[in-house]
Amino acid sequence: MNRIVSLLYGLFAYIVFFVTFLYAVGFVSGRVVPKTIDSGVPAPLPEALIVNIALMTLFALQHSVMARPAFKRWWTQYVSKSIERSTYVLLASLALILLFWQWRPIPTTVWLVEEPVLAAVLTALSFVGWLIVLASTFMINHFELFGLHQVVNNARGKSMPNVRFKTPALYKLVRHPIYLGFIIAFWATPHMTVGHLLFAAVTTGYILVGIFLEERDLIDLFGDEYRNYRQRVSMLIPWRKSAETTTLHPTPRKASLFR
């Protein structure tokens, strides 16, 4: 019964995540969804800045703190390891839903591209960014990244397989294609408002901090194997020339790449 409940919980968390992801696309691009980054009644500027920064900070803290190995070691004393990832995904989704709901628009225009072809190109580029995000998750293990693999294996009475360090497809070009996709999606727009600019700037800053924390954890997990990868492959800009590196000989380690 516990395994069935865990499976249902994991499925619920995944559905909430996927709906939230689709809503985020509409929220940032200003299409389809009822509440977008620029819709609604504008609040006074000080209120909008305080509320919006607080919402993004809440998401950043939840997303970063719960991803740290020390927190996971403590957390899994009380929460089953099979649903730890699903719980993380669910709470991150709820933090985003709160952001969408309470976001205060700041509609002052920063730039507006009126030329139809260029505007269409920027819009298409934004959607390409979202596609990069989603595709990159499947290049590693989408269903493990969002908790489904864990609850399915638990329901079948199987333990999670050991995952070794790997760099498929886009991961050979940049170390963080998911983050690259987000940056493209957030910044490529024909109509940039102050509110959208605040969102893009703060989330980009958080991404850079997140990369620092994530890579520190990956070095702890994979040692010289990840150091060698970091020397060979650029962080976010795929066309930057890689640094020359001496081949390292890491000891194989059995650990998950994710978080």
* 116-149 residue pLDDT tens: 999 999 999 999 999 999 999 999 889 888 998 9
- Helix (H) / strand (E) element for 47: namely helix 45-65
| Element housing 109 (H / E) | strand 109-112
Q: What is the pLDDT of residues 26-65, one digit of tens each?
A: 999 999 999 999 998 899 999 999 999 999 999 999 988 9
| 193 alpha-carbon distance from chain centroid | 23
pLDDT tens across the length of the chain (259 residues): 688 999 999 999 999 999 999 999 999 999 999 999 999 889 999 999 999 999 999 999 998 899 888 898 898 888 888 999 999 999 999 999 999 999 999 999 999 999 999 999 999 999 999 999 999 999 988 988 899 899 998 888 887 777 678 888 899 999 999 999 999 999 999 999 999 999 999 999 999 999 999 999 889 888 888 899 898 999 998 865 544 443 333 333 333 333 4
Q: What angle do CA 17, 178, 120 make, to 5 degrees?
A: 90
Structural tokens at position 219: 């070095």
Please list the alpha-helical segments (H only) found in 103-147.
116-140, 142-145
Cα–Cα dist 168/140, whole Å? 7
Please calculate the CA angle 44-46-52 and round it to the nearest 5 degrees.
95
174: three-class secondary structure by DSSP? strand
159 φ, ψ (degrees, to nearest 5): -85, 160
Three-state DSSP at 192 gives strand
Inter-axis angle of helices 2-29 and 177-187, to 10 degrees? 40
C-alpha torsion 72→77→81→84, nearest 10: -50
Phi, then psi, of 110 in degrees rounded to 5: -95, -50
Predicted pLDDT at 164: 75
Are the C-beta atoms of 43 and 102 separated by less than 8 Å?
no
